[in-house]
């Protein structure tokens, strides 16, 4: 009986040990699979503990920010990404706004270049309790720079249209003034001084008209 029980227990122990090894191998494979996903994703991904200290930084995050893992591990994620919304009651790690917080933040890369990041931050749960956070971000710097350039070009175009309209408005009364001066110049009763002053006025009006004509030709859109 003792031998039978010993053999049975040994078999059960062997089976339990084999099952445990299979589960450990499966867990290792699953962990490696998840790590490969995080490393391969094109978005920047980082995690932080309950105090807000960064615990992981995937390759895409390193490429966007220029920081290596060694440079950011243990540092506050708010410091790295320059996010200080001004909520003094917020926890060091959690945004305190919603389970998932989306925002844009402007910060500096490791080389000092301007970065505009679109970021999503969510609490990281373990056994239904928050133990940190996970952040996912995209580099929006080029898009925002293009939008700013388009706004500037639109402003310059509007300014050009307004300037052309003002030039037309100035040119019309200027032509009327020049014509009136020419009519007065023909007055036989005008003395030499009056004629000389009117000649100056006509000459300057003609010069201004030529300047306005050149400006309108420059501002005219090409065919």
Quote the CA–CA distance of 186 and 175 in Å, as a whole number.
Answer: 17
Could you give the maximum distance between any two Cα atoms of the chain, in Å? Answer: 149
**What's the mean pLDDT in 79-95?**
63
Question: pLDDT of 188-222, one tens digit each?
Answer: 676 888 888 888 888 888 888 888 888 888 777 67
CA-closest candidate to residue 107, choices 42, 44, 41: 44
In this prediction, residue 33 has a pLDDT band, given cuts at 50, 70 and 90, of low
In degrees and rounded to multiples of 5, residue 3 shows phi and psi of: -65, -40
Distances (CA, A) of 74 to 17, 85, 112, 133, 217: 38, 21, 21, 14, 63
Phi-psi region at 201: left, alpha or beta (left = phi > 0; alpha = psi -120 to 50): alpha
Question: What was the pLDDT predicted at 70?
Answer: 92
Amino acid 127: pLDDT: 73
pLDDT tens-digit map of 167-179: 888 888 888 888 8
CB 86 within 8 A of CB 103: no
Handedness of CA 164, 169, 171, 172 (dihedral sign): positive
Is pTM beyond 0.85? Reply is no
């Amino acid at each position: 009986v003792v031998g039978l029980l010993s053999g049975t227990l040994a078999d059960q122990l062997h089976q339990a040990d084999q099952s445990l090894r299979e589960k450990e191998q499966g867990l290792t494979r699953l962990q490696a699979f998840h790590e490969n996903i995080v490393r391969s994703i094109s978005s920047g991904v980082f995690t932080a503990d309950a105090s807000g200290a960064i615990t992981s930084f995937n390759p895409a995050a390193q490429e966007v920010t220029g920081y290596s893992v060694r440079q950011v591990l243990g540092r506050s994620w708010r410091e790295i990404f320059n996010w200080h919304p001004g909520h003094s009651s917020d926890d060091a790690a959690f945004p305190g706004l919603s389970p998932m917080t989306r925002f844009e933040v402007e910060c500096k890369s490791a080389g000092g270049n301007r970065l505009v990041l679109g970021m999503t931050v969510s609490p990281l749960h373990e056994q239904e309790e928050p133990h940190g956070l996970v952040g996912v971000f995209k580099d929006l710097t080029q898009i925002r720079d293009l939008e700013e350039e388009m706004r500037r070009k639109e402003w310059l175009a509007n300014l050009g249209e307004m300037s052309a309209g003002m030039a037309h408005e100035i040119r019309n009364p200027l032509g009327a003034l020049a014509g009136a001066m020419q009519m007065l110049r023909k007055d036989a009763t005008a003395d030499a001084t009056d004629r000389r002053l009117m000649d100056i006025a006509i000459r300057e009006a003609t010069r201004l008209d030529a300047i306005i004509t050149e400006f309108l030709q420059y501002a005219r859109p090409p065919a």
